Amino acid sequence: NITEVPPVPAHNLQLSIDERLQALVYRELNNAVAFNKAESGSAVLVDVNTGEVLAMANSPSYNPNNLSGTPKEAMRNRTITDVFEPGSTVKPMVVMTALQRGVVRENSVLNTIPYLINGHEIKDVARYSELTLTGVLQ
């Protein structure tokens, strides 16, 4: 028993995705995944002044207009559904915040020896015992 529900006026929704930037991010992400022989990759381009998402891409991807033969696994948006370690991408924000809050100074030297948290080793790819802030960001 299906009944008709009359439409209700609502607010407009305006996306912030920039078509030109979206195409560029998608192309460059695919190139990077191929070049690095990676299983997958994700990218989000954000306007730092407004927080608007200007582009979001995943590789591999799929054509939503032609789903025949597309595995269900490929249809998820990895950028917003998958959990992953941010790795070094978060370092600039951590360093900036630490400088702003006075936790470190520009000439600080940091202990970068690996350590365990809940049985999981936290380490840098390069094994240095100490790094300057500049060294951390390089």
For the domain that residue 26 is a member of, what is the CATH number?
3.30.450.330
**40, 88, 108, 129: which one is catalytic?**
88
Q: How far apart are CA 60 and CA 40, in angstroms?
A: 6
**CB contact at 8 A, 122 and 114:** yes
Identify whether 5 is part of a domain: no
Sort residue 131 into left (φ over 0), alpha (ψ -120 to 50) or beta.
Answer: beta
Residue-level pLDDT, tens digit, the chain, 138 residues: 678 889 899 999 899 999 999 999 999 999 999 999 999 999 999 998 999 999 999 999 999 999 988 888 888 899 999 988 777 888 899 999 999 999 999 999 999 898 899 999 988 877 888 999 999 888
Identify whether 1 is part of a domain: no
pLDDT of residue 128: 84
Domain count, the chain: 2
pLDDT of residue 1: 67
- 59 in catalytic set: no
Of 85, 83, 106, 86, residue with least CA distance to 95: 106
Domain hosting residue 123, numbered range: 85-138
61 and 105 in a single domain? The answer is no
Give the sign of the dihedral formed by CA 50, CA 53, CA 55, CA 56: positive
**CB contact at 8 A, 91 and 98:** no
77 and 102 in a single domain? The answer is no
Identify whether 2 is part of a domain: no
Q: Can you count the helices (H) and strands (E) in the chain?
A: 4, 6
21 and 72 in a single domain? The answer is yes
Identify whether 125 is part of a domain: yes
37, 66, 83 - which closes a domain: 83
73 and 52 in a single domain? The answer is yes
